[in-house]
Structure 1
Amino acid sequence: MTSHAFSQVDVFTTGPGLGNPLAVVAAAADLTDAQMQRFANWTNLSETTFLLPPFQEGADYRVRIFTPGSELPFAGHPTLGSAHVWLENGGVPKTAGVVVQECGAGLVAVKHDGGRLAFAAPPRRRTGPLPEENVAKICAALGIERSTVLRHQWADNGPQWQALQLTDARAVLDVEPDYAALAPFGVGLVGAGPPGDDADFEVRALMGFEPVPAEDPATGSLNAALAQWLIAEGHAPQRYTVRQGTRLGRNARIEVAAEGQDIWIGGEVRTVIRGTAEL
């Protein structure tokens, strides 16, 4: 058994307990795959990450990202939370102001400016409209009419999201998903907010897959893929703000900005718990 620095952070938060929690284990090179997976299962958070020395030239650190049941090649809030902990534990990036994270999906740049971090959206692995049979199944599982869907798209950048833009934010918030009927899909819903609202879009991430079907309070991967789709097709401005987690009693904010060929997904990260993990 060995001791490891451990942090639990709140990602995309607007205040204590209002974002998405993440567990981070530092200096984890001595841990086996089985130990990582077992600890991630024990924390019972949507993701737990482990910080390791990088393999690729140009990377500042490497991260492995585990759900309670499996490993992910990439995920958004674990990327920001891991970079925050790496910096807080004394990490110094090779390039000032930009941390380069190595993960299963490759190298991901993370800008840091004070307390706010933003990652560059990785390429989507699959794009284009969904099969109509998928849309029909999703609508049935969500209890909505097909006419409520303005447009749809694959949003697969590691997590295999399928995205629907609904008529407005109210339509997104009114959805009552039947998770058993939704399985095995992971569905992202987005709808424009009303004029004068403090967020341009409302987003919900509904996970019909393992380990337990649930709604995610703040989802970087989904918002990255949504931004690539909506901005490219002219359905969203070059910069906008997303609110997520409303139905869960959270109040997360995700800041989206298109800069040249890159789309940056950012937000606040705060450390809530510091200590050691005996593994």
Structure 2
Amino acid sequence: MIRLRLDIAYDGTDFSGWATQPGLRTVQGEIEAALARLLRAPEGELRLTVGGRTDAGVHARGQVAHLDVSAEQFERWGASQRRGSGSGSQTGVDAAAGDDSVRLMARRLNGVLHRAASDIAIHSVAPAPAGFDARFSALRRRYEYRLRPENARRDPLTARFTAEVPRALDLGVMQRVSEDLLGLQDFTTFCKAREGATAVRELLAFEWRETEDGAYAARIEADAFCHSMVRALVGSVVAVGHGRLSSGELVELRDARERTSRFTVMPAHGLSLEEIGYPEDAELAARAEQTRARRDPLDD
């Protein structure tokens, strides 16, 4: 089998999230259906593994997935291949594949998608390096959350991607309290609990800026995120920004490691997955093995 890396973007407005769900329109479902048509494969044979599962309504500019195909399917897709001595890629396929072949693979998949899912764009398709796993090899994920406070001029052209907050917000206060949340922490307060899972994550960046159209945008980066964590973090900082919480109270809520109604989880449509970062090729397999190991809870 030949492993391919796909770089993907989508407008999440009309999707019920990334993951395939019976009877619902999802990003994974649309791409896998397009792949089945393109490669003449039985339904369900071609399965994508994604780097960051997004919820219903969440967008992406920098999504990454991998796909395993047979040599025959790879050839049918239109990419060139070269049987080698086994050095470099595990598959013996030329990992570079040639710029023209890579562009052709993305163009052909986009052509099929355009008819049923024009709100998805495939930026690139290329053979993955040995050891690559879109999910487990990742070092970090970066999201952006856009919101517009009540004193900002409304922009209908960005409304699908920007949450409206009907309150005045202090951007300086929001930046300071965001910095207090950085580091290796147990983020149970900001996550929907999943049995047997831990909410220990390392929050690497949480920065705010004012955009050219007057919105506020948060850049949030971590080694990984648990379910609803980004939108909950933003909601908690917004609560401080309009005075519902103090910065000290927010830190206390974080350290309590319990879900709370003291702040609101923000709407999905303001959120976009911007980038997934990976290590150098030689370190991909080791990173995947490290990530698969379950994190231990933090000591009190």
Per the normalisation by structure 2, the TM-score is 0.27
Larger Rg: 2
